[in-house]
Homo-oligomer: A and B are copies of this chain.
Amino acid sequence: MQAFFNRNRNPTADQEGDEASSEAELLRLESWLPFRFFTISVRVADLLTSFYGPRYGLSRAAWRTMAIVANRPGASAREICQAGGLDQFTVSRAIASLVENGFARRRTGKTDKRYASIELTKEGWSAFEEISALSKRLDAELTTQIAPEEMAMLDDVLRRLDDASAGMLARGWRGFFEQRPEGLRPNARSGRKAKDGND
């Protein structure tokens, strides 16, 4: 098995303090923290979607939007974007679908007419309450796996990771190859051959 990780390496690479191409450094997807988070959250989301999708005809974006509006009645599309990590187009369409299906109501803002001000209708609240109930049960099922002290710590850790990940995203991937003056250079040189995103 180890042999599989040894290919394509410059035998002199290790000498220059390089760690990026040593076999111990290759990513193991299933133990990668973001992947582990992703797997768990997607399973739960899939489960929830299999409920609200057929039952209410909601898309994931519509459900997320609904949940955000429920928490912040009268929110504008822009606010929903920020709170839900969704882009403005998605939110605009999600709102349109919620309105179309009678789950939400859109009113133009009183002071500033550019703003939307979304709130749930009676039907919207009813749907939200039901999906909420399932969501919380799913959460409870997860939570029973966690002791109270663990939960407190998890909460704290997640808060920090949330902040950190937001900062990292804002910083862009370049920040992880370039601005490293401490000599922690990977085998990826800065000026590579191809075009790259994040311009």
Contacts and interface: CB of A to CB of B under 8 A. Distances in A.
B20 A129 contact: yes
Interface stretch (A93-101, A107-115, A156-164): A156-164
Protomer copies: 2
Contact of A133 (B42, B68, B122, B187): B187
A197 to B, nearest CB: 4
A157 B186 CA distance: 32
Nearest to A27: B132
Contacts of A146: 157, 160-161
Interface of A: 4, 7-8, 20-21, 25-30, 32-48, 50-51, 53-56, 64, 67-68, 70-71, 73, 83-85, 119, 122, 125-126, 128-139, 141-143, 145-146, 150, 153-154, 157-158, 160-166, 168-169, 172-173, 176-177, 186-188, 192, 194-198
